[in-house]
Amino acid sequence: MRVTEEEPTWFWGLRVWWAWFWRYLLIVVILSALVGGGIGAIGALIGLASDTTASIGGGAGFLVGIIFMPFVFKRLMTKGFGKYRLAVVHK
């Protein structure tokens, strides 16, 4: 298979960004809500202040986002964009 490199355009940059962004946002929002809800429930059960629980939940949500970002990006690299796909090419 012959690979031809095409010049990146703003349109394709936006299209790739959007494909990554909505998947990332969907996964992170759901997982962060689950993690934050679990931390909030545990914090309430053991009597932690709501500010403390919110801080811990926010930090956990941030970590979920950081941890899952590469997984979403790797998944995006296997997805096609019409007749194109995202690839890593040796310089």
Note the pLDDT tens digit of each residue in 3-57: 777 788 999 889 888 988 888 888 888 888 888 888 888 988 899 898 888 888 8
Residues linked to residue 84 through DSSP beta bridges, in sequence order? 81
In what helix (H) or strand (E) does residue 81 lie, and over which residues does it extend? Answer: strand 80-81
Is the model more confident about 45 or about 88?
Answer: 45
Question: Does pTM surpass 0.85?
Answer: no
The pLDDT score that the predictor gives to residue 1 is 67
The pLDDT score that the predictor gives to residue 10 is 93
Q: Is 39 exposed, middle or buried (0-12, 13-18, 19+ CB in 10 A)?
A: buried
